[in-house]
Structure 1
Amino acid sequence: MTAPKDPAAARRPGAPDDSELPKLISDCVHCGFCLPTCPTYVLWGEEMDSPRGRIHLMQQHVEGTPLSEPMVEHFDRCLGCMACVTSCPSGVKYDRLIEMTRAEVEREHRRPISERLLREAVFRLFPYPRRLRALRGPLRAYQRTGLRRFAQRSGLLGLLERVSPTLAAMERLAPPLGKAQPRLPERVAARGTRRATVGMLTGCVQREFFPDVNAATARVLALEGCDVVIPRGQGCCGALSLHSGREEEARAFARRTVEAFEDVDVIVVNAAGCGSAMKEYVHLLADDPAWAERAKALSAKTRDLAEYLVELGPRAERHPLPVTVAYHDACHLSHAQGVRAQPRALLAGIPELTVREIADPDICCGSAGTYNLFQPEAAAELGDRKAAGVRATEAELLVAANPGCAMQISGALARQGVRLPVAHTAEILDASLRGLDRSFLLDRASEPLPPPESHV
């Protein structure tokens, strides 16, 4: 029998004590309450693709079983959606368990070279806004000149799907890109009497692919009486790295983010995954003496946009916006941060706007950071389920508070031949506060639909 691993064997400076893992594992009583909330268990009914089953595999590894390909595959198939955390009667911290396990996988398991190269390409691109910005021009030309439609009709995308499902997923998920927008100023002044000064995270994908969301966020905060500080020195918050087990990379991003926002009392975040990651800095840098207290302070002052606006209370006039919307719960907002009622309260405060609920709101849409890139088949199944739920509401507009969710559900709807505009909560509020016509939101659906894709 293999001897149990020594928790202190390879302790790295600033890294968490590995003895935490067996302590957290012991909290699970294997009751099964998590099973109906787990997206992969719902899809396949496979015990090892449930939180309970994965915790059993974690226990095996702690007791000395080496990480095998099948074991790693079960961990990779987890979306990290945290639905199991909110459904667990024993308070099992599965979020912490899966992040620690993924870090262990990255340290100990050697993936095939093709997989390593693809992962490295993804993590060398998406957390870097300047690199994404450089990609915008060629990608927009590909979308606007007919090259994309040619690639779809000629079968080139089908070939790409066979050669690299990850690259094919990246092509499918890319949102329609408009002209590049000017960068937001470093400070946006409050309208009327200033009520607060807040920092604003601009993000990576949000900043480069959804700049209108950031512009709307800054306007809404200003209209509600906030001076908005947008530090030039900010970059990626580290969410993608943190949730993928790339600990040291995540810590480097976290330290830079802490430095950028130390001079503000509140940090407002409009992307669910980013807000969740920043609230976790308190754990990520807990064992780094130089950064622990600074990280703890940042986590304590991080707020999701909807969370903060409800705390602040409304001041600006809401103008009528006669539109029916379906609200989608992003997992890292509802499960990881516990922010569910606040977005609905903000939407309910808009005259003539109707909110419809989507069936099975706790089941992930399949985006989950990089999940829809590295697990495209499972992600597509979940996306199709979510798109069907959205369609059943017969809403005119989908509201989602995370860029990954917006891309994932839009792609699934397009596969089903449905043209439905998607907007962020900030954009809905912005339209109401500025008294814009409903067509401002609904005209987003004017982009031509791609032809249906047969591979999904």
Structure 2
Amino acid sequence: MTAPNDPAAANDAGAGADPGTDKDVAAPQDRELPQLLSDCVHCGFCLPTCPTYVLWGEEMDSPRGRIHLMQQHVEGAPLSAPMVEHFDRCLGCMACVTACPSGVQYDRLIEMTRAEVEQEHPRPVAERLTREAVFRLFPYPRRLHALRGPLRAYQRTGLRRLVQRSGLLGLLERVSPSLAAMERLAPPLGKAQPRLPERVAARGERRATVGMLTGCVQREFFPDVNAATARVLALEGCDVVIPKGQGCCGALSLHAGRQEEARAFARRTIETFEDVDVIVVNAAGCGSAMKEYVHLLSDDPAWAERAKALSAKTRDLAEYLVELGPRAQRHPLPVTVAYHDACHLAHAQGVRSQPRALLAGIPGLTVREIADPDVCCGSAGTYNLFQPEAAAELGDRKAADVRATGAELLVAANPGCAMQISDALARRGDRISVAHTAEILDASLRGLDRSALLGRLT
């Protein structure tokens, strides 16, 4: 096995190789979990912000209830199947973190608890196989790339319509809800785009040099978002460094409790971007995970300082552009958009005003707010694959709120949210295009007109 800190492993991670593990590193939760649990005063402010509590009204499906279960486990209660189910039902959206007046770090609590679940709880065989399939595919861009051709053929030849009309999809729902969710959520795929160059030069006087994370799902399913991100940064005076060998940042693994896997991905990402001063990320879940490296590797003496440095220089695209300040001319773009707050952007990173400020700076653009913006859309990384029924309920709620705005276009800064809300809108018969903040900015900076923007996104 290649050592996790071998530079060649960084290239392999992008090529589809599995990461190494670090079994010898002590788990931080052994001493941190009890301390964090004591911060909760059980006030209940988190209840109305929790999506699963809003859906079902069950105490054990609220952050307060789950913290109570965590405390039971710390005191010696085994991780029973019902207890694990309540932890699995948590989206990890972090709305409760925003709402908590006591500063409870529920994000840390649920991630450490999920790590214990993965280590201690034997899942049923079918569930274990489904989870392994997901985590052997989605964090590996080249594996996703290999899937593109067959998936595009399935979508473009009419086979997908035949499956949907024949009732086979309903049969798949009964056999494997997770596989059916994957089929529904897959975005329409165009032709494969050329790989971005390793360096995109600044337009005009160079103001900064930044590294850019291309991601996994973002890179293979939403390549136009990455291309738009690079163009916007270049037009704002940035040299954009896009390392060829980059792979997964570890977000999906980290948020699912697969900590050994996440640490290996984190080390490789640190090595890949160590020579740049700022790393710009255009996917909310990825940016959140990279900012958490400081905690993820805090007990690893060889990596703790390097992880802290990377977390400190990671910026969401909107966050960085507002820090940098506008230079390129914004051309009018007379479109009405609704802005969706991705949970790992708004709650986990605290980035709320910056995307709105960027959109407000575009002449002619009208931004409409969505009701209950703090309630998750149901995507939550792999949640809509492992908890498809709850995710669909939340998606339907979000789609109705989006439709109520009357907007022509939905803006979302996370690929999972884009797929989740697009699927929910389609189930309602609504055909509202979904765009990334970078794509809207790109259209304005390049002077695209309204019809060109909407036509390109349809």
**For the Cα contact (< 8 Å) 1:254–1:281, is it kept in 2?**
yes
Q: Deviations over 1:400-455 (max 9, x none)?
A: 000000000000000000000110000000000000011222125xxxxxxxxxxx
Cα separation, partners in 2 of 1:250 and 1:173, compared to 1, 3 Å: same
Answer yes or no: is the 8 Å Cα contact 1:5–1:64 preserved in 2.
Answer: no
Contact 1:3 1:64 in 2 (8 A): no
Residues in 1 aligned to 2:9 and 2:156: alpha-carbon distance in whole angstroms: 55
Provide closer, same or farther for how the CA distance between residues 400 and 8 of structure 1 changes in structure 2, counting only shifts above 3 A: closer
Q: Following TM superposition, by how much is the alpha carbon of 1:9 offset from its aligned partner in structure 2, in angstroms?
A: 31
Q: What is the CA–CA distance in structure 2 between the aligned matches of 1:229 and 1:139, rounded to whole Å?
A: 30
Match of 2:100 in 1: 88
**1:357-383 residue CA offsets vs partner (Å, 9 max, x unmatched):** 000000000000000000000000000
Kindly state the Cα deviation for residue 259 of structure 1 after the two structures are TM-superposed.
0.3
- C-alpha separation between the residues in 2 aligned to 1:228 and 1:2? 29
How far does the alpha carbon of each residue in 1:306-365 deviate from its partner, in whole angstroms, 9 at most, with x for none? 000000000000000000000000000000000000000000000000000000000000
- Deviation of 1:265 after TM superposition, in Å, equals 0.1
Structure 2 counterpart of 1:236 = 248
Query: SS at 2:453's partner residue?
Result: helix
Q: Structure 1 residues 166, 296: closer, same or farther in 2, change over 3 A?
A: same
For the 8 Å contact 1:7–1:19, the answer to whether it is kept is no
| Kept after mapping to 2: 8 A contact 1:190/1:222 | yes
Q: Is the 8 Å Cα contact of residues 10 and 268 (structure 2) preserved in structure 1?
A: no
Q: Secondary structure at the match of 1:18?
A: helix
Partner SS for 2:225: helix
What is the TM-score with the length of structure 2 in the denominator?
Answer: 0.94
CA drift at 1:216: 0.1
Query: Alpha carbons of 1:122 and 1:107: their partners in 2 closer, same or farther (altered >3 Å)?
Result: same
Superposed CA deviations along residues 168-200 of structure 1, whole A, max 9, x for unmatched, are: 000000000000000000000000000000000
1:5–1:62 CA contact under 8 A, matched in 2 = no
Whole-Å Cα distance in 1 between the matches of residues 446 and 4 of structure 2? 62
Work out the CA distance in 1 between the residues paired with 2:307 and 2:105. 20
Give the drift of 1:16.
1.0
CA contact (8 A) 1:4 1:62 kept: no
Can you list the C-alpha shifts for 1:145-189, whole angstroms capped at 9, x where unaligned? 000000011111111100000000000000000000000000000
Secondary structure at the aligned position of 1:65 is classed as coil
Preserved CA contact (<8 Å) 1:170 1:373: yes
Contact 1:421-1:443 within 8 A present in 2 as well: no
Q: Quickly say closer, same or farther: Cα 1:41–1:7, change in 2 above 3 A.
A: farther
Tell me the SS of whatever aligns to 1:268: strand
Are the structure 2 counterparts of residues 119 and 103 from structure 1 closer, same or farther at C-alpha, using a change threshold of 3 Å?
same
Q: CA deviation at 1:2?
A: 41
- For each residue in 1:114-172, what CA deviation from the matched residue of structure 2 results, as whole angstroms up to 9, or x when unmatched? 00000000000000000000000000000000000000111111111000000000000
Q: Deviations over 1:76-102 (max 9, x none)?
A: 000000000000000000000000000
Quick one: structure 1 residues 255 and 350, their matched pair in 2 at CA, closer, same or farther if it must change by over 3 Å? same
- TM-aligned CA deviation for residue 218 of structure 1: 0.1
> Counterparts of 1:30 and 1:407 in 2: how far apart (Å)?
35
Distance 1:342 1:5, change over 3 A: closer
**Equivalent position to 1:424, from 408, 418, 436:** 436
**In the superposition, relative to structure 1, how do residues 166 and 4 fare at CA in structure 2: closer, same or farther (>3 Å)?**
closer
Q: TM-score, normalised by structure 1?
A: 0.94
Please say if residues 2 and 9 of structure 2, whose CA atoms lie closer than 8 Å, have aligned partners that are also in contact. Answer: no
Query: Sequence identity of aligned pairs in percent?
Result: 91
Residues 7 and 18, structure 1, Cα contact 8 Å, conserved in 2: no
Q: 2:64 aligns to what?
A: 52
Matched, 1:201 2:201: no
Gap change, CA 1:373 and 1:3, over 3 Å in 2 = closer
Do the aligned residues in 1 keep the contact of 2:185 with 2:423 (CA within 8 Å)? yes
Q: Which has the higher contact order (CA 8 A, sep 6+)?
A: 2
SS in 1 for 2:30: coil
In structure 2, list runs of 5 or more residues that go unmatched.
12-18, 21-26
CA contact (8 A) 2:3 2:9 kept: no
Q: Partner of 2:8: helix, strand, or coil?
A: coil
For the residue of structure 2 that corresponds to 1:277, the secondary structure is: helix
Rounded to whole Å, the distance in 2 between the matches of 1:5 and 1:80 is 29
Partner of 1:452: none
Which runs of 4 or more aligned residues in structure 1 lie more than 6 Å from their structure 2 counterparts after TM superposition?
Answer: 1-11
What is the root-mean-square deviation in Å for CA atoms of aligned residues? 5.5
How far did 1:6 drift?
34
Change over 3 Å in CA distance of 1:10–1:87 after alignment to 2: farther
Q: Which residue number in structure 2 is paired with residue 340 of structure 1? A: 352
CA distance in 2, matches of 1:201, 1:3: 23
CA contact (8 A) 1:2 1:64 kept: no
Answer yes or no: is the 8 Å Cα contact 1:198–1:228 preserved in 2: yes
Report the 3-state secondary structure (helix = DSSP H, G, I; strand = E; otherwise coil) of the residue aligned with 2:404. Answer: helix
* CA distance in structure 2 between the partners assigned to 1:3 and 1:152 by the alignment: 45
Which whole-Å deviations, capped at 9, do the CAs of 1:219-261 have from their partners, x for residues lacking one? Answer: 0000000000000121000000000000000000000000000
Query: Relative to structure 1, is the Cα distance of residues 66 and 190 closer, same or farther in structure 2, using a 3 angstrom cutoff?
Result: same
**Cα pair distance change 1:422/1:59, threshold 3 Å:** same
CA distance in structure 2 between the partners assigned to 1:223 and 1:45 by the alignment: 49
Q: 1:369 to 1:41 in 2, by over 3 A?
A: same
1:12-39 per-residue CA deviation (whole Å, 9 max, x = no partner) reads x992151211110010000000000000
Q: Does the Cα contact within 8 Å between 2:59 and 2:65 map onto a contact in 1?
A: yes
Contact 2:339 2:412 in 1 (8 A): yes
| Distance in 2, Cα, partners of 1:253 & 1:380 | 30
